[in-house]
Amino acid sequence: MDNRPIGVFDSGLGGLTAVRELSRLLPGEDIIYFGDTGRVPYGGRSRQTIIKYARQDANFLSSFELKIILVACGTVSSTALDIVAAESSLPVVGVVRPASQRAAELSRTGRIGLIGTQATIRTGAYERHITTLRPEAELISQPCPLFVPLVENGRFRPGDVVIETVVREYLQPLKDRTVDTLVLGCTHYPLLREVIAAFMGPEVQLVDSGAEGARRTADRLRSMDALADPGRPGACRYYVSDSTEGFAQLASVFLQRDVNEQVQQIEIENFDSGI
């Protein structure tokens, strides 16, 4: 038994979709969440900048006594997971590997769609993992740079003409290629699930990368025999790099519950290790 918290980070609030699944699976776990709200989005930035930010984010979380870190960000998982893992003394789990595995298992035809940030698509990380598992699979990728700002601004609901127009524009090519499985390769995208599912149709299965990362984290803790005492209520603490104003309201949308816990603003640049 291990009651130390799980650390989770993302470029913004999208990683809370992974926290939601973690809390559902393991309600006894304490979670420390960092959202880099002052610098979101990461997805249009260079590899070097993403690596620098990821190091600072992981350094901040490592200032707590944690048992594992979940990188609940598709952009960081595809760009810098190996670096963060190599420099951390803790086990580090990302979202790309578990989501790739799920997609490879679910797809009947092997025609798999991937949507994510420009940085995620650029790395080719999903192609590598999926074709290792299913060499005949065909991955059709589409960067969706407008999704994160729209989601963070609350424009994700069915009936919203802006998001419905952008979804059509980005996803029509994937629909035309008749993908049967679509990986939501960015942890912000589950908020768009309803709009995306309505556009793609019921025959296309959606893979939620944040939820898959949460499941992989739970499996890892089980295999390490490091789950928290199941009888205790887990608590969440939130840290952000921009103002905390409006956090509870927006976070409650990602978590699908009221957020009454503590949220604190930190200076993330103070956590630079100078590498």
Residues within the interface to ligand DGL (CB under 6 A): 10-12, 14, 40-43, 73-75, 117, 120, 148, 186-188
Beta carbon nearer to ligand DGL, 40 or 69: 40
**What's the full length of the chain, in residues?**
275
Nearest distance, CB of residue 38 and ligand DGL, angstroms: 12
Which of 66, 73, 95, 221 is catalytic? The answer is 73
Contact 120, 141 (CB under 8 A): no
Write the CB contacts of 39 (distance below 8 Å, at least 6 apart in sequence). 11, 53, 241, 268
Nearest distance, CB of residue 216 and ligand DGL, angstroms: 15
What angle do helix axes 96-106 and 125-133 make, rounded to 10 degrees? 40
Nearest-CA neighbor of 18 among 79, 82, 98?
A: 98
Beta carbon nearer to ligand DGL, 6 or 70: 70
Nearest distance, CB of residue 50 and ligand DGL, angstroms: 9
Nearest distance, CB of residue 139 and ligand DGL, angstroms: 17
Which of 32, 186, 214, 268 is catalytic? The answer is 186
Beta carbon nearer to ligand DGL, 103 or 186: 186
For the question of residue 236 being annotated catalytic, the response is: no
Beta carbon nearer to ligand DGL, 79 or 228: 79
Beta carbon nearer to ligand DGL, 101 or 120: 120
What is the spatial distance between Cα 152 and Cα 155, in angstroms, rounded to a whole number?
A: 8
Q: Which residue(s) pair with 112 in the sheet?
A: 139, 181
Nearest distance, CB of residue 83 and ligand DGL, angstroms: 16
Nearest distance, CB of residue 116 and ligand DGL, angstroms: 6
Beta carbon nearer to ligand DGL, 14 or 113: 14
Active site residues: 73, 186
